[in-house]
């Protein structure tokens, strides 16, 4: 992977980014235990645009932890990240993300199939160097088949890896998550709130769309700064 910037499409407006991110598909074979839901393009574009304004994307090394089909990885690449690494345990979504990144001719992006909780800072450094920004949308634990406590495990891993973290969580757990970050050396600097429409993609879903209020924390990791 080249360390040079590669922006085949100049992105001048958030709406332009959103339109491109609409090409990112849902997982073709979603696994309930992983709570695989595609972040809507408008939400991904808004968060990434704010991250860009805050100086966390352009010319930065970005890691997308639990990347799914790659919406944050691809968006970061389009907004001028120096290098992007998307990591996910599911080979199917990795293949989908790789296919779309090739279609968009993105050269500064790499996807890795690996359990995100087992990857080390050293492994990531060998691939992309020191991480500036990490984006994650961990399982909320709202599905019965999902493993509980995954959000906390993602937080701990993120704090091992990156100076700046953007982390999605169910709004109802926001107060607890904020305290958890701060207990482990993080400082919440910004909070973004969205309504996340979860479509009917699993057999056990009864509603066509369920709206879930989510909160995204931008966290400065003082242990690495």
List, as one string, the DSSP characters of 95-123: HHHHHHHHHTT--SEEEEES-TTT--HHH
Average pLDDT over residues 178-184: 96
Which of 48-52, 53-57, 198-202, 204-208 is the least confident region? Answer: 204-208
Answer whether residue 15 is part of any domain: no
Residue 2 domain-assigned (yes or no): no
Determine the Cα angle at 121 with ends 119 and 126, to 5°.
95
Q: Is residue 136 assigned to a domain?
A: yes
Residues whose CB is less than 8 angstroms from the CB of residue 132 and which lie 6 or more positions away in sequence, other chains included: 56, 60, 61, 62, 162, 163, 164
Q: Which one, of 36, 16, 14, lies nearest residue 92 by Cα?
A: 36
Could you read off the pLDDT of 62-106 as tens digits, one per residue? 999 999 999 999 999 999 999 999 999 999 999 999 999 999 999
Whether the pLDDT of residue 6 is over 50: the answer is no
Query: Residue 225 has what pLDDT?
Result: 79
Beta-bridge mates of residue 211: 197
φ, ψ dihedrals at 184, nearest 5°: -105, 25
Asked whether residue 218 carries a pLDDT value surpassing 80, the answer given is yes
Q: Measured between alpha carbons, how far is residue 43 from residues 19, 201, 214, 216 in Å?
A: 12, 19, 11, 11
Residues above pLDDT 90, as percent of the chain? 76
Whether 101 is covered by a domain: the verdict is: yes
- Examine residue 34 and state whether it is found in any structural domain, yes or no: no
Reduced to 3 states (helix: H, G, I; strand: E, B; else coil), residue 177 is: helix
Is pLDDT above 90 for 194?
A: yes
Residue 216 CA to its chain's centroid (Å) = 11
From start to end of the chain, where are the E strands? 61-65, 83-88, 109-113, 133-136, 164-170, 186-199, 209-221
Residue 55 structural domain: 43-221
Q: How confident is the model at residue 141 (pLDDT cuts 50, 70, 90)?
A: low
Start-to-end CA distance of the chain, whole Å, equals 26
Question: What is the CATH classification number for the domain harbouring 158?
Answer: 3.40.50.150
Q: Are strands 61-65 and 83-88 parallel, antiparallel or unpaired?
A: parallel
Cα 101 from chain centroid (whole Å) = 15
Domain count, the chain: 1
75 inside domain? yes
**Residue 28 is assigned to a structural domain of this protein:** no
3-12, 36-45, 164-173, 209-218: which range is least confident on average? 3-12
Q: Say if 119 falls within a structural domain.
A: yes
């Amino acid at each position: 992977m080249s360390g040079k910037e590669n922006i085949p499409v100049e992105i001048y407006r958030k709406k332009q980014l959103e339109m491109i991110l609409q090409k990112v598909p849902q997982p073709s074979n979603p696994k309930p235990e992983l709570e695989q839901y595609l972040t809507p393009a408008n939400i991904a574009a808004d968060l990434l645009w704010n991250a860009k304004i805050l100086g966390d994307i352009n010319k930065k090394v970005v890691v997308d932890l639990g990347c799914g089909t790659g919406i944050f990885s691809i968006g970061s690449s389009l907004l001028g990240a120096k290098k992007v690494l998307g990591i996910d345990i599911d080979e199917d979504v990795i293949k989908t993300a790789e296919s779309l990144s090739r279609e968009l001719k993105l050269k500064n992006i790499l996807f890795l199939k690996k359990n995100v909780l087992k990857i080390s800072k050293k492994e990531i450094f060998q691939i992309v160097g020191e991480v500036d920004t990490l984006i994650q949308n961990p399982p909320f634990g709202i599905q019965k088949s999902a493993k509980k406590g995954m959000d906390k495990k993602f937080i701990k891993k993120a704090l091992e890896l990156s100076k700046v973290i953007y982390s999605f969580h169910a709004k109802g757990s926001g107060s607890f998550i904020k305290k958890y970050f701060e207990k482990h050396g993080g400082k919440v600097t910004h909070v973004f709130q969205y309504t996340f429409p979860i479509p009917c993609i699993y057999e056990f879903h009864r509603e066509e769309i369920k709206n879930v209020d989510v909160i995204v924390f931008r966290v400065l990791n003082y242990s690495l700064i």
